[in-house]
Amino acid sequence: MSLKLLDTVPDFTQDSTIDSFSFYDWAGTDWVVLFSHPRDFTPVCTTELGAVAKLRPEFEKRGVKVVGLSVDSLARHHEWANDILLTQGAELNFPLIADEDRRISQLLGLIHPNASDATTVRTVYVIDPAHRIRLTLTYPASTGRNFSEILRTIDSLQLTDTHKVATPADWVQGGDVIILPSLDDGAARALFPDGWTTHAPYLRTVAQPGAHSAAS
């Protein structure tokens, strides 16, 4: 099974560092970031788990829950958590799924046959409250994930789900956004009465909706 954008993530139950983990029950109506690891005690992944633990308040501020997955046993996960605390200065404060039988990795399409027939790729899924895949990122083993970029894309997804806008290249929270081309000027005027900048007939930029209230 290979999950693609807007596919629904199937429900599953598996052991984790917070005991039995039932995905739909745990996720509730929140956004979710699920990220996978090839095995425990790998150096790049150790830094990533520490980084996410430190960023947990930023995820919570956005209504996002985080869960990791690695294809080792629960006992090894708990041992790894000690190393994460020792080397990264952060406690493992989110669930880490113990996928020793690789059942969930197979279910979610996380096995990469070109790399190994048993090892999970280092994939990130951003999942919306309807359990749909909204973003996928896959990294090579040598490159640590950029969780600031993941937070940025979540900001974009949540903004564009609420307003009829898209976000341009390198957009960050508070920056100008793009009015959807599907809105003609009349419809856009009703939504953006303060006006916008027209760069081309299909490219109109406007101040981010709600940016002032979000900052205050």
What is the radius of gyration, based on Cα positions, of the chain?
20
Q: Which of 9, 33, 45, 154 is catalytic?
A: 45
Look at residues 65, 51, 70, 39 and name the one whose alpha carbon lies nearest to residue 144.
51
Residue 71 has a CB neighbour count (10 Å cut-off) of 23
pLDDT, tens digit, for every residue of 32-50?
999 999 889 999 999 999 9
- For tokens 């980084």, name the residue: 51
**pLDDT computed for residue 216 by the predictor:** 37
In this prediction, residue 113 has a pLDDT band, given cuts at 50, 70 and 90, of: low
Residue whose C-alpha is closest to residue 15's, from 104, 130, 82, 119: 104
Q: pTM to 2 decimals?
A: 0.92
Find out whether 97 and 16 touch, Cβ atoms under 8 Å: yes
Res 166 pLDDT > 70: yes
Residue 211's pLDDT is 79
- The model's pLDDT over 140-156, given as tens digits with 9 standing for 90+, comes to 888 999 999 999 999 99
Q: Supply 67's token pair.
A: 């869960």
Q: Is 126 a catalytic residue?
A: no
Residue 188: count other Cβ atoms within 10 Å of its Cβ: 18
Q: For residue 164, what pLDDT band results from cuts at 50, 70 and 90?
A: very high
End-to-end CA distance of the chain: 45
